[in-house]
Amino acid sequence: MRVIRSILLFSAAVAAAAPAAAEEEVNIYSHRQPELIRPLLDAFTAETGIRANVAFLNKGMVERLRAEGGRSPADIALTTDIGRLSALKNAGVLQPVESAALAANIAARYRDPGNEWFALTTRARIVYASKERVAEGEVTTYGDLADPKWKGRVCTRSGLHVYMVALTAGMIEQRGEAGAREWLAGVKGNLARKPQGNDRAQVKAIWSGECDISLGNTYYMALMMKDEDQREWADSVRIVFPVFENGGTHVNVSGMAMTKSSPNRANALRLMEFLASPKGQEIYATVNHEYPVNPDVPTSGLVEAFGGFEADDADLRAIADLRPAAVRITREVDYDG
């Protein structure tokens, strides 16, 4: 009954927004908040005449699509983090999409070999360092965060958050499980407080003097710089692009996929091709302050000012596969305890 009610509620919302029953449409389940993707969808509608309906799902997208099965109204899944894209594929709720346009605009390393998911933007996992209390060059690698010199000076969000799990998985790929466990235990030993809050909360903690360095995604700096109440936090830190000892800076992705049950497949394909196009990627990356996966598409001026970095070349699918081990290690060291 809950499944049927979910479908009816979504359909009712679509019908209420529709000026005409015959209007073309595409339905989206999104982990990203609607305001972060609405400019992009409005541009798609203006170009194609196809209305884009969005249901924001903070969590439970896989479970919802499984429960709805072939009755699901969703055509497209938009999400962040390679682990979430991989989970959708592993759950069997996606379908492969063959498209010359997608292949031309998205490099092979940023799409599923079976064409079931496609990345759209990347974000780097960086260090925010106090301008007053951390000298330039003091932090250059992720390994530095475990150096005892930072004891009582590090802040992070929960080690079980998807962003932290992905970084720990990246460390497993670099050092193996034993090395990653030792690193994470070292970072825990340097924490100034129990892991808490989101990435912006860590920067606020640096501003207030609770800690000196933290981890965060690049786009949070842009968000803070544009928020009058948080600009002072942003001004208190500098961005550092750390690297793995034998690699580059850890990156993750936002991406898209077509659901297996897509009732508007042709429209869904048009949306996916628009999102992957240079125009779509430029809008998406600018609105969300991320990096387009197409290197020929420019980043926004604000993001460009952060400086360049060399992305780690680890296979994102391998990182996704290592997530269960990363979660286990995080619990073994009692990182959040």
Strand partners, 130: 237
Q: 264 or 288, which is more confident?
A: 264
List, as one string, the DSSP characters of 91-129: TT-B-----HHHHHHS-GGGB-TTSS-EEEEEEEEEEEE
- Both 63 and 171 in one domain: the answer is no
The mean per-residue pLDDT over the stretch 125-138 comes to 97
pLDDT in the model for residue 3: 41
- Both 109 and 40 in one domain: the answer is yes
pLDDT at position 206 over 80: yes
pLDDT at position 161 over 90: yes
- Both 237 and 258 in one domain: the answer is no
**Confidence tier at 10 by pLDDT (50, 70, 90):** low
Q: pLDDT for 169-196, tens place per residue?
A: 999 999 999 999 999 999 999 999 999 9
pLDDT in the model for residue 329: 98
The tokens describing 183, both together, are 């690193």
The mean per-residue pLDDT over the stretch 324-328 comes to 98
3-state DSSP of 252-307: EEEEEEEECCCCCHHHHHHHHHHHHCHHHHHHHHHHHCCEECCCCCCCCHHHHCCC
CA distance 107 to 50: 27
Displacement of CA 271 from its chain's centroid (Å): 20
- Full residue range of the structural domain in which residue 268 is found: 2-121+252-299
Provide the number of structural domains found in the chain. 2
- Both 214 and 184 in one domain: the answer is yes
pLDDT at position 159 over 50: yes
- Both 235 and 283 in one domain: the answer is no
**Confidence tier at 323 by pLDDT (50, 70, 90):** very high
The mean per-residue pLDDT over the stretch 238-247 comes to 96
Report the share of the chain in percent with pLDDT over 70: 93
Strand partners, 257: 77
Q: pLDDT for 47-104, tens place per residue?
A: 999 999 999 998 999 999 999 999 999 999 999 999 999 999 999 999 999 999 999 9
Residue 144 included in any domain: yes
